[in-house]
Amino acid sequence: MLEPEVTKGLTAAAAITLGLVVYLVAVEVLYRRVSTLLEERRRAGKTKVAVQRLELASGDRVAGVLSVAVRWTRNALVLVALYLYTPLVLSVFPFTEPLAGPLFGYFLDPLQKIWDAFVAYLPNAIRIFVVILVARYSLKLLHLIFKAIEAGRVVINGFHAEWAEPTYKLFRILTIVLVLVDVIPHLPLAGSGFFQGMSLLVGAMVTLGSSSAVSNLVSGTVLIYTRGFQIGDYVEIGETFGEVVERSLLKTQLRTPLNEIVTIPNSRVLNASIVNYSTDARGRGLVVNTTVEIGYDVDWR
């Protein structure tokens, strides 16, 4: 005659085993249905990744990657169930119950550490989310305001309409830089040696490689706010003459009389002499000098 504790343990072990079998069958059925669905979508050509007409990944490749991911997920679920099955069965018998605790610990302790790290990081994650959210909608509001200024719906004394777009771009760059400065220290592993080393390397690369870009950016800002020329003006910059077709923070483009597009970095534009033939031509007019020659065969009268 078995003892009541053993009988109770055998009953519980049988129930746990039945639950494991049901679980494994359910996982296998779900795996087969997902695999069948993937195969159907692959045959229908719905698994490829494309942007308009550009195919980034073929349907067969995407379906193969998804199939491997589904198979590994199935295997992981099965292994976790089999691992947990052993300590559960051991825990229902009095003489094997002491062995169940360490087996549970091997699985639950890492999960507990992951959960504790996640909970400890939540304040930083919320801070990052709020900062990005505020920056995003602040830029949207600024974009609406500057668009209204550019269209003439909002007028600010001393602030010209053509300044609206470059001013918004400067605000956007400044906002992104401030967000990065605030967010990066709160990222996971921000204090690790690897992260600090990579930050130093990226900073050195940006510093060494962006000197000319920063120079053009500063020069473009000065040119825009000094209003030396506008889009559509005919100007002579250095030895290049043409119509201004584009003016940005980094470069200025001219269309020459031969219909050539000449791109000039703003640092060179700022250092060159600029002759604008259109500024006063709209109002007082433009004095054009020319030389007239008379051939010898023309009567002097």
User: Any idea of the CA torsion for 183, 186, 189, 195, to the nearest 10 degrees?
Assistant: 40
Tokens for 25, please give them.
């069958």
| Residue 108: both structure tokens together | 């639950």
Residuewise pLDDT in 10s, the chain (301 residues): 456 666 777 788 888 888 889 989 999 999 999 888 888 887 777 777 666 666 666 777 877 888 888 899 999 888 888 888 888 887 777 777 777 777 777 777 777 888 888 888 888 889 999 999 999 999 999 999 888 888 888 888 877 777 788 888 888 988 998 998 888 888 877 777 777 777 777 777 666 666 677 777 778 777 777 777 888 888 888 888 889 898 887 888 999 889 889 888 888 888 888 888 877 666 666 667 778 888 778 877 6
pTM of the model: 0.58
Residue 54 tokens read as 């550009």
> What local confidence, expressed as pLDDT, does residue 26 receive?
92
Task: Let me know: does 277 contact 235? Beta carbons within 8 Å.
Answer: yes
The position carrying tokens 């679980």 is 23
Q: In the numeric block, which tokens belong to residue 267?
A: 């640092």
> At CA 80, angle to CA 78 and CA 86, rounded to 5?
105
Pair 236, 277: CB distance under 8 Å: yes
Residue 208, pLDDT score? 65
How far apart CA 91 and CA 104 sit, in angstroms, is 10
- Measured in whole angstroms, the distance separating CA 175 from the mean position of its chain's CA atoms is 15
Backbone angles phi, psi at 278, to 5 degrees: -110, -20
Number of Cβ within 10 Å of residue 87's Cβ equals 20
Residue with tokens 């549970």: 104
CA distance 19 to 204: 59
Task: Give the span between the Cα atoms of 10 and 157, in whole angstroms.
Answer: 88
